[in-house]
Chain A
Amino acid sequence: MEEYEFERLLKTARIELDKEESASVKKDINEILRFFDKLENVSLGEEEQAFHSVEIPEKLRKDSAENKNELENVFYNGENYRFYFLGPKI
């Protein structure tokens, strides 16, 4: 991975690294991607894709409003004001 690609990736991943950490992580990532490249040689034909390891039957909840009274749990740890989290400007 080229330097500019790595910098762009860090930005997308919202990860900030200092210079030393960046060099070390970039080296690791290139090594890991070479390890993943082993898959390029695998021939799988029309093999299906397994998103889960076991069959998960489709479960739908009733389409009705429920009063779960979960506000206390939701705000248990966050900084909040009335019924809102306090967070940065978007």
Chain B
Amino acid sequence: MTGKFLSLKGEGYNGFVSQLKHANEKLDAFNFIDEKEKNGKIISVKDNICVKGMPATASSKILHGYIPGFNATAIERLENSGFSVIGKTNMDEFGFGSFGLNSEHPAKNPYNEEYVTGGSSSGSAVATALIKEHVSIAESTGGSISAPAAFCGVVGLTPTYGAISRYGLIDYASSLDKIGFMGKGADSIREVMEKTVGSDPKDTTSLSKAISNKNTHKLYVIDNLMGGIDEGIKDRFEGLLAKLSAKDYEIEHVKIDYLEYSVPAYYILSMSEASTNLAKYQGFKYGFKVKDFSLNYNDFFMSARKQFGKEAKRRVILGTFIRSKSIKQKYYEKALAIRHAIIARMGKILKEGFIIMPTMPIFTPKISEVSDISPVEAYSMDMLTVPPNLCGFPHISFPYFYERGMPLGAQVITDHFNDYSLLDFLSEWESGFEYKFKEEVG
């Protein structure tokens, strides 16, 4: 099956760009829109993935002015297959956020601008919702595709870790980062996935293993993850399970040990890796430049790092602490063991069927409801998206219900390298469900 994509010429293209810029003034989906006419099928790209000649800021002031002279491998492969990039989408700075608010100009939810978009791929979700027949190339470390997909009512596929090259991705946590896709349906996501998968000599963690589609009609619900979920969400999710039961899916409830530790384990590992990955921004090679070469190296470096936002500073400080020799065993090594324990236990279940759960534990919140919550409260909102991300299992978030004009998303997880089975599941779901996208442009 092939997907549908916008492909415009001449006045049609100019009109499209003008509409998109107008919509962007309201919703802040894009950090950059390229006005030059494109020859191919239009896609957008999260602002932490390098596209030759387009600014790449990862929504951080420290990267203002950085223009990569090369394409990320995923983008190179897509451009060689007839796709063209219309622009770079907004995000939480370096991917540090669950609501899309850690950006200078946070993106707004296309269903209601008072509500969050979810993060960190906030702009990719809004662009996908906004533009007709669109796929946005996004990235997830701990839930950055699923969360905004759920809150903005689009589909988000996070592939198996290593299935898609990370070359050209502005890294947050190298053992967790995964390039993925947001779209309006299974066919268009399948098309871009097929064009991007496969090993890449430029990324030694990319893998050549074939991606399968071993389908199943067995769905597991993890009971010990359901405890922290809003009662309303639980109720709507029960309704989804009833619909799937009616479609001959067999539902089984299970418990998976150690899952309650997945969120602290994830943040320990991701902060540790982020604190080293962000050390490359020193004020003279990428983006923001410190001009005062009379400063000694430490002062020069510290001066550049003032450009980081508050959450980035917090994560660098904590990551540095966690990696210190006397502390490493207490946090970092324990977190690695927890990841191993969860991979083994989830992997065993996923050999027998899919795991299904709501994508987020709460209804889409208003910006005012979450802008002042503590970091720990914010991190805890990732309780459902973190387990598959921590363990590199492919997963897909899709809209399944609309309430008070806002979408609700559910998430299905499968075993490593069985990514296409998720798209088959989605195709089956789409045959009996009508999406209500907020489409305005194209």
Contacts and interface: CB of A to CB of B under 8 A. Distances in A.
B261 A42 contact: yes
Contact of A87 (B70, B293, B376): B293
- Which among A12, A21, A52, A78 has the highest number of chain B CB atoms within 10 Å? A52
Contacts of B282: 87
B296 A89 contact: yes
Contact of A53 (B175, B204, B374): B175
B317 interface: yes
A16 B298 CA distance: 11
Interface string A62-90: 00000000001100111100000111111
Interface in A1-57: 9-10, 12-17, 21, 25, 28-29, 31-33, 35-36, 38-40, 42, 44, 47-54, 56-57
Contacts, number: 165
A79 B65 CA distance: 12
A9 B173 CA distance: 21
Interface stretch (B40-48, B77-85, B214-222, B262-270): B262-270
A53 B161 contact: yes
Interface string B342-386: 010000000000000000000000000000001110010000000
Nearest to B393: A53
Nearest to A26: B317
- Which among A51, A53, A90 has the highest number of chain B CB atoms within 10 Å? A53
Secondary structure dominating the interface of A: loop
B317 A54 contact: no
Contacts of B330: 39-40
Contacts of B258: 42
A78 B275 CA distance: 22
Interface string B64-83: 01111110000000000000
A73 B66 contact: no
Nearest to A41: B261
Chain B residues touching A, range: 35 or more
Chain A residues touching B, range: 35 or more
B264 A52 contact: no
A77 B317 contact: no
B341 interface: yes
A72 B337 CA distance: 43
Contact of A77 (B65, B308, B343, B390): B65
B333 interface: yes
A35 B340 contact: no
A47 B341 contact: yes
A54 B440 CA distance: 40
A53 B343 contact: yes
B334 interface: yes
A14 B314 contact: no
Interface in B256-301: 258, 261, 264-265, 267-268, 275, 282, 284-287, 289-290, 293, 295-301
Given A14-B305, A48-B337, A54 B160 contact: yes
A78 B264 contact: no
A56 B204 contact: yes
Nearest to A61: B201
Contacts of A14: 298, 301-302, 305
B331 A79 contact: no
A90 B379 CA distance: 38
Contacts of B176: 53
B337 A15 contact: no
Nearest to B321: A9
B335 A39 contact: yes
B336 A51 contact: yes
26 contacts: A9-B321, A12-B324, A25-B314, A28-B314, A28-B375, A32-B267, A32-B379, A38-B261, A39-B261, A44-B338, A47-B337, A48-B337, A48-B340, A49-B340, A50-B337, A50-B339, A50-B343, A52-B205, A53-B393, A76-B69, A77-B285, A78-B285, A86-B284, A88-B284, A88-B293, A88-B301
Interface of A: 9-10, 12-17, 21, 25, 28-29, 31-33, 35-36, 38-40, 42, 44, 47-54, 56-57, 59, 61, 72-73, 76-79, 85-90
Given A77-B65, A88-B296, 10 more contacts: A13-B275, A32-B314, A39-B338, A49-B337, A52-B161, A52-B175, A56-B162, A76-B69, A85-B284, A86-B293
